[in-house]
Structure 1
Amino acid sequence: MSELDLALVHALQVRPRASWSDLAPLLGATAVTLTRRWERLTKEGLAWVSAVPGPAFAHGGCTAFVFLRCAPAARERLAARVAELPEAVTVELLAPGRADLMLDVLASDPGTVHRFVDEELAALPDVLDVECVFATSLYAEGSRWRLGSLDASQLSVLGRPRAGDAAGTPLADLSALDRVLLDALVRDGRTRLTELADLTGTSAATARRRLHRLTTGGVVAFRCDVAPAVSGLPVSVTFRGHAPAHDVNRLHRTLATLTECRLLAAVTGAANVLATYWLRDIGAVQQRETAACAHLPALRITERVLGTRTVKRMGHLLDGAGRRTGVRPIRPW
């Protein structure tokens, strides 16, 4: 990975659908060079842009975290099978402990999550136990995580990405055309308007208008994901803990500000805090826990869950090195 590659990825984390000609002056390279660099990164599975639920999903949809236990010999088989299910948007294998797999589940409502957990997951022959907790507030998630390769002046030029309206387009109002657009953008968030028009049988102007409605309405957002070879952070750890109710709303001002925070949520259950960090090595786990408790003294860590491999991330299948190998489109809308 060159410095230009890293800067390009960071720029796309801020503005995932920016044109190469817009980014060229900022990064000191030609649009042709950026195009070639990005094609190599995506071909090798090192980085990719995809569509994910926008701010409106927090009001019209439901996020849950599911922990599965199975026989040791069934771990890989079960992970591969669960990764085929669109509701399980992220699937991670865990180090031996109380659970063997951790899933991020997105659905339209809690009832749909319950049916998926009780009727599909619990019925799988390899599953021995299931635990499901719901996110009541999401303070940090993958689309907000940054590589840190651009300096302050470059970030100033890029500007802040415009957030969609959390109370925008109702998810139930999506048309068949909208859903085709979303499917294509989950596969490749940088799909050109002309290609989207061909897929939907409309004009580029119509595709642009529908996409603008989806983004400004908060239905969809975009994020640039990377393999560990790019991030330099191969260790994933999830802390589960308990904080007093009056401290939970401080999470976004405390734990989310810690370096390498990838996910932070208030959740249901006795352990009402769930936080995931990407770290450089196993020795940093204790450092992150110490820092988290120093920022929020009332927090009591009850479980440390070490991820051994991410099988699927937001609909994208990954190999043992965390490189993208395929797509299983998510459909939480």
Structure 2
Amino acid sequence: MEFLDLQLVHALKTDGRAPLRRIASVLGVSDQMVARRYARLRETAGLRVVGRLNPRPVGQTVWALRLQCVPSAALGLARALARREDTRWVKLAAGGTEVVCHLAVRGERERDALLMGRIPASRAVTSVTAHRLLRLFKGGPTGWDGIASVLTPEQRDALAPAYPPPDARAQPVRLTDLDHLLLTALARDGRTTHAALAAEARCHESTVRRRIAHLRGAGALFFVLDIDERSLGGPSATALWLSVRPARLAAAGAELARHPEVAYAAATTGRTNLLATVLCRDDEQLYDYLAERIGALPGVDTVETAPIVRTLKRTGSVARDHDPADGAPRR
């Protein structure tokens, strides 16, 4: 990936709704150049901006599920989970015998219907472990930049949105019918114009602008960049499940969030209480990271690792590219 492409990726990570004209001005290139690069990255790397709800302010809880599966059935189960509207991430791990997914639900009924009904009833599932996410240390708008961290501090400041980053402890937000319509559209394409959103919602463009600004300002809506990390240099993802002594949990989570290899880190319920996803270019780097960085974390008693062999859904979007091995959609 060329340097200008990396700059564009980093710019969209900074603010996914920043106009391409403003990005071009900050990068010192023409509007047409940025537009062409943006279109090419959408085609070749699956790049798109996604509007995401911060679950806590809107009354949702997020669960991380580990499903041990019969090897021959794991991929089919993962695909079925990826098609569900309430799943955010669905990954195949541990050599294809484990499905890891994030599930956002509202209330006990939605939770129980899946965790106590549909999943345990599947013959493909041999065991289920459910972890409720308690505190996000890294993820969403503070996710991994990797080699795409190429903007200068001045460029980042020029593109940074004028809204606070989502806070898990933000005040509750009551969503309107218009909000639901806008959120559905922004989940498809976070860069949909205000004019197009207004036409779909059959309201004034100024109303759409106010509602989106309100949701972002309240910490209920943020925008993430969906891109195949392999296009950023081929890093391999590994899920880490850590058991940390409670008195050291906050310190360990905060330290993880500072590691450049970490794309996601959260405190959870369960036998392991700290979940992370790390991106390393090869097994040697992963070994060094586990031995030197994880080994130095405060209060860590045990670590489980699960290499991710396939991502079927990311940021709420079913993978779209193609796996020549079996003809299945993959990203």
Question: TM-score with structure 1 length normalisation?
Answer: 0.88
Q: How many Å separate the matches in 1 of 2:260 and 2:221? A: 26
Q: Find the aligned partners of 1:106 and 1:244 in 2 and give their Cα distance.
A: 27
Q: After superposition, give the CA deviation of every residue in 1:145-183 in whole Å (9 maximum; x if it has no partner).
A: 223121333224334652256465634x21221111001
- Work out whether residues 243 and 273 of structure 1, in 8 Å CA contact, stay in contact via their aligned partners in 2: yes
Partners of 1:65 and 1:165 in 2: how far apart? 20
Q: Aligned AA for 1:180?
A: L
Opposite residue 242 of structure 1, the aligned amino acid is: S
SS in 2 for 1:218: coil
Change (3 A) 1:58 1:267: farther
Q: Partner residue of 1:20?
A: 20
C-alpha distance in 2 between matches for 1:139 and 1:38: 30
Structure 1 counterpart of 2:77: 78
**8 Å Cα contact 2:133/2:267 also seen in 1:** yes
- Matched to 1:315, the amino acid is G
Aligned equivalents of 1:292, 1:110: Cα separation in 2: 38
What letter corresponds to residue 26 of structure 2 in structure 1?
Answer: L
**Alpha-carbon displacement from aligned partner over 1:70-126 (angstroms, at most 9, x marks no partner):** 2111122111111111122110001238x5100011122455323322222223342
**Does the CA contact (< 8 Å) of 2:226 and 2:315 recur in 1?**
no
Cα shift at 1:282: 2.1
Contact kept? 1:50, 1:186, Cα under 8 Å? yes
Distance 1:315-1:159 versus aligned 2 partners, 3 A rule: closer
Q: CA deviation at 1:291?
A: 3.3
Q: Which amino acid aligns with 2:38?
A: W
Q: Is the 8 A contact 2:245 2:301 kept in 1?
A: no
Structure 2 residue runs without a partner (length 5+): 324-328
1:58 Cα deviation after fit: 6.0
Task: Name the CA shift for 1:45/1:109 in 2 (closer, same or farther; >3 Å).
Answer: farther
Aligned residues: 321
Go from structure 1 to structure 2 and tell me whether the alpha carbon gap of 1:243 and 1:297 turns closer, same or farther (over 3 Å shift): same
Structure 2: how far apart are the matches of 1:120 and 1:68?
A: 13
Which residue of 2 is the match for residue 129 of structure 1?
127
* Cα separation, 2, equivalents of 1:288 and 1:220: 33
- 1:40 maps to 40
What is the TM-score with the length of structure 2 in the denominator?
0.89
Matched with 1:106 is 104
1:218 is the counterpart of 2:201: no
Contact 1:142–1:262 (Cα < 8 Å) also in 2: no
* 8 Å CA contact 1:237, 1:278 repeated in 2: yes
Q: Which residues in structure 2 correspond to 1:161-180 (within 5 Å)? A: 162-163=163-164, 166=167, 170-171=172-173, 173-180=174-181
Please tell me whether the aligned partners of residues 141 and 165 of structure 2 are also in contact (alpha carbons under 8 angstroms): no
Counterpart residue identity of residue 118, structure 1: M
1:278 correspondence with 2:279: yes
Question: Using a 3 Å threshold, how does the CA distance of structure 1 residues 214 and 160 change in structure 2: closer, same or farther?
Answer: closer
**Correspondence for 1:309:** 310
Q: What is the rounded CA distance, in whole Å, between the counterparts of 2:13 and 2:303 in structure 1? A: 32
Task: Give the CA deviation at 1:203.
Answer: 1.5
Offset at 1:57?
2.3
Q: Which residue of 1 aligns with 2:67?
A: 68
Gap regions ≥5 residues in structure 1: 327-333
SS in 1 for 2:270: coil
